[in-house]
């Protein structure tokens, strides 16, 4: 009996081993493939932007002698950043409400530099003469009633009194006189209201003797 049991036990072991051999094999789980890192984007370098060229420096202007107009003829009426202003008190003409007056302006260095740059735009050679621009004389019309003005003539002079330029103006449009300007001061100086004649007092009656 023992032998039979041993034989059966032997066949059982063989059967189990054969079953294990035929059983489905355990597949190893495949690890997910790592995605490849995309290449870095190509950076296109822009060419450096050149800074704008600096504004041309205005050359240093020469020192010039300043004129002083004759006080017997010219009356100072104000100063602005463009110059010191005088009007000719001996040559004011009036037609209705319009007064015509000559104005003398001793220009500042700021005004002189500005004129040098303006003239240089259209005539570089001529702008050299404006290094010595010292004063100008202007003929203005002042509309006293409507508080307007316009220029009739303009002459630029250098420090030696030589004419640099001469402009005449025909039918220039009238401009409103702005408050607290040189023309406003000029208007107040020359647009003097005519004084009304004083009313005559009736003659006193003579007493009868």
Instruction: Give the per-residue pLDDT at 126.
Output: 96
To which CATH superfamily is domain 74-190 assigned? Surface-adhesin protein E (2.40.128.710)
Instruction: Give the per-residue pLDDT at 68.
Output: 94
Predicted TM-score (pTM) of this structure: 0.65
Tally of CB atoms within 10 A around 141: 18
What pLDDT, in 10s, does the model give residues 81-108? 999 999 999 999 999 899 999 999 999 9
What pLDDT, in 10s, does the model give residues 48-83? 777 776 655 556 899 999 999 999 999 999 999 999
Q: What angle do CA 90, 106, 57 make, to 5 degrees?
A: 160
| pLDDT over 50 (residue 4) | yes
What pLDDT, in 10s, does the model give residues 18-40? 554 455 555 555 666 666 777 77
Residues 6+ apart with CB under 8 A from 133: 107, 111, 112, 115, 116, 156, 157, 158, 164
Are 97 and 146 spatial neighbours (Cβ–Cβ below 8 Å)? yes
Closest by CA to 83, choosing from 175, 160, 156, 179, is 156
Instruction: Give the per-residue pLDDT at 197.
Output: 45
Residues constituting the chain = 209
For the four alpha carbons of 11, 15, 16 and 17, in that order, the dihedral sign comes to: positive
Token digits of residue 116: 């040098």
Instruction: For 159-207, list the strands marked E by DSSP.
Output: 163-168, 175-176
């Amino acid at each position: 009996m023992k032998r039979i049991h041993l034989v059966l036990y032997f066949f059982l072991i063989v059967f189990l081993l054969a079953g294990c051999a035929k059983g489905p094999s355990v597949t190893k789980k495949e690890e997910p493939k790592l995605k490849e890192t995309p290449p870095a984007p190509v950076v296109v370098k822009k060419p450096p932007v050149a800074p704008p060229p600096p504004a041309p420096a205005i050359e240093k202007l020469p020192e010039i002698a300043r004129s002083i107009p004759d006080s017997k003829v010219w009356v100072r009426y104000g100063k602005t950043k463009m110059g010191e202003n005088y009007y000719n008190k001996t040559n004011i003409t009036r037609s209705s409400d319009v007064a015509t007056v000559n104005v003398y302006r001793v220009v500042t260095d700021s005004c002189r530099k500005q004129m040098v740059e303006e003239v240089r735009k259209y005539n570089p050679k001529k702008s050299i003469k404006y290094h010595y621009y010292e004063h100008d004389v202007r003929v203005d019309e002042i509309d006293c009633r409507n508080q307007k003005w316009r220029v009739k003539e303009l002459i630029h002079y250098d420090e030696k009194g030589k004419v640099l330029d001469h402009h005449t103006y025909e039918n220039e449009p009238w401009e409103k006189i702005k408050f607290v300007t040189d023309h406003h001061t000029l208007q107040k100086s020359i647009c003097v209201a005519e004084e009304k004649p004083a009313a005559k007092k009736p003659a006193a009656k003579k007493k009868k003797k």
